[in-house]
Amino acid sequence: MNFFERRKILKTANYLDLTPVRNMNEEVDSNNLVTVLIPKVTNKLAKKYFEPMLKSPMMKLKLDELGSASWLAINGKKKVSEIANELKEKFGEKVHPVEERVTKFLTVLYNQKLITFEEVKGDSNGRSIR
């Protein structure tokens, strides 16, 4: 599935009906705050030569309380609307308007390729589009 097909699906779909899936690993501290681990080098050839010179092969993206709760709720089975409802129950008025905030946050994660959506995950050959 190419970029234009994925974009068409995402433009026509109701964002609250999409199912987010994580693409990256994470670390969770004792306060349930998430640090997403993003590889600095993804190209195999560049990885072979440059990764030994790096202090750390991963960049770390620290999420706040709301971002961490959203990230931990993403399991590949829950729809965005279910995640928003969970956050509304957990945080109450602190996350008002929850649907807008969650969809904006997930859009940023999708644009940075930290997550994808089950509805646009692979093409007809079964390949993943990560």
- 41: domain CATH number is 3.90.930
pLDDT for the residue numbered 122: 61
pLDDT for the residue numbered 123: 46
Task: Report the range of poorest mean pLDDT among 23-37, 48-62, 68-82.
Answer: 48-62
pLDDT for the residue numbered 74: 93
Tell me the average pLDDT across 50-74: 89
Residue 127 lies in a domain: no
Per the structure block, which two tokens stand in for 94? 């602190």
Residue 47 lies in a domain: yes
Q: Is the pLDDT of residue 63 over 80?
A: yes
Number of domains in the chain: 1
* Closest alpha carbon to 118 in 77, 82, 84, 86: 77
Query: Over the stretch 106-126, which tens digit does the pLDDT of each residue have?
Result: 999 998 989 999 888 764 444
Does this model's pTM top 0.85?
no
Parent domain of 44: 3-120
Residue 88: exposure state from Cβ atoms within 10 A (0-12, 13-18, ≥19): middle
Helix (H) or strand (E) holding 28, with range, is strand 25-28
Tell me the average pLDDT across 18-27: 91
